[in-house]
Amino acid sequence: SEGPVSFSDNAVTVLNEKKDQMVGMNSNAASLSDAPTLAFPSISTSDFQFDHEKATDIIIEKVEEFLGRIGNARLVLVDLTHRSKILSLVKEKASKRNIDSNKFFTFVGDITRLYSQGGLRCNVIANAANWRLKPGGGGVNAAIFSAAGPALEVATKEQANSLLPGSALVVPLPSISPLFIQEEVTHVIHVVGPNMNPQRPNCLKNDYLTGCKILSDAYASLFEGFASIVR
Ligand code: AR6
């Protein structure tokens, strides 16, 4: 009832992963589950209050643009619950396009526990960061900094002290980080999206002309960053 099988749910994905692992031994191509994989949250659509229809249009557009440029690598949009409006909009929109569901799919789970709890191996995860690149603040940012431990904060600070909305920063995760050890995450890519929340810095006050441009740039920088790791 949720659309084509290709954009179904976690069960199908994990089943595929298991199948890949089993056939992996005698297959000459690398199995799908070994393919470099970027797990990313929907940037700006919770704390930053960006419109969900506009945001999901941009996700689909940018995914389509980048899938052709990252070889066998995969992109996975993650959210916490099966009731996620973002995930249902993206599934609906993706199923209307010719997007390869082995290379782009949605997944329900905590982005800091995708392998240990969800059985989905993602070597790179994206963070919906704040411009100061500070831990805390709630949402996915608080979860990632907390799960990664102080090593992520140190590694981030080595690269930058702030990040402009619409840009991304690739941070190699030190091997002492619990996220590296337990989840096999090797890189975190911080992304700062456009903010429509008057309680947060740099609020765009519903200027969606600027906001959509910044969100497009944010996904382009994120996927570009992932491509640079994969290459
Ligand atoms: N795993 C997967 N998805 C999650 C998780 C998680 N652990 N936690 C939240 N999401 P948000 P924003 C989803 O608010 O709107 C912070 O305070 C969530 O359901 O994290 O870009 C920062 O410091 C939603 O779909 O990011 C910034 O100041 C998506 O992740 C500000 O919030 C993004 O929600 C950024 O706000």
Which of 46, 144, 199 to mutate to test ligand 1, by most ligand atoms within 8 A of the CB atom?
46
Kindly state the average pLDDT of the residues 48-67.
98
Confidence tier at 34 by pLDDT (50, 70, 90):
confident
Position 26 pLDDT exceeds 60: no
Residue 200 Cα to ligand 1 midpoint, Å, equals 14
Confidence tier at 1 by pLDDT (50, 70, 90):
very low
Confidence tier at 19 by pLDDT (50, 70, 90):
low
Would the CB of 137 count as within 6 Å of ligand 1? Answer: yes
Name the nearest CA neighbour of 129 among 186, 74, 188. 188
Residue 78 Cα to ligand 1 midpoint, Å, equals 11
Q: Which residue has the higher pLDDT, 9 or 10?
A: 10
Task: Give the per-residue pLDDT at 18.
Answer: 55
**Could you identify the atom of ligand 1 that is nearest to the CA of residue 49?**
15
Position 134 pLDDT exceeds 50: yes
Are 73 and 38 contacting, i.e. CB atoms less than 8 angstroms apart? Answer: yes
Q: Which residue has the higher pLDDT, 65 or 10?
A: 65
What does the chain come to in residues?
231
Kindly state the average pLDDT of the residues 108-127.
98
Q: In the chain, what percentage of residues exceed pLDDT 90?
A: 84
Q: Which residue has the higher pLDDT, 93 or 26?
A: 93
Position 3 pLDDT exceeds 80: no
Residue 231 Cα to ligand 1 midpoint, Å, equals 28
- What phi-psi label fits residue 212: left (phi over 0), alpha (psi between -120 and 50 degrees) or beta? alpha
Residue 127 Cα to ligand 1 midpoint, Å, equals 8
Beta-sheet strands, E only, within 20-112: 37-41, 74-79, 104-108
Report the C-alpha gap between 78 and 84 in whole angstroms. Answer: 10
Confidence tier at 28 by pLDDT (50, 70, 90):
very low
Domain 5-15+30-230 class, CATH top level: alpha beta
Atom 20 (ligand 1): residue with closest C-alpha? 139
Task: Give the per-residue pLDDT at 143.
Answer: 98
Which of 38, 42, 44, 47 to mutate to test ligand 1, by most ligand atoms within 8 A of the CB atom?
47
Confidence tier at 33 by pLDDT (50, 70, 90):
confident
**Could you identify the atom of ligand 1 that is nearest to the CA of residue 48?**
15
19-33, 42-56, 87-101, 196-210: lowest mean pLDDT where? Answer: 19-33
CB-based burial of residue 124 (10 Å sphere; 0-12 exposed, 13-18 middle, 19+ buried)?
Answer: buried
Kindly state the average pLDDT of the residues 17-22.
54
Would the CB of 17 count as within 6 Å of ligand 1? Answer: no
This model of the complex carries an ipTM of 0.99
Task: Give the per-residue pLDDT at 12.
Answer: 58
Kindly state the average pLDDT of the residues 25-44.
77
Residue 48 Cα to ligand 1 midpoint, Å, equals 8
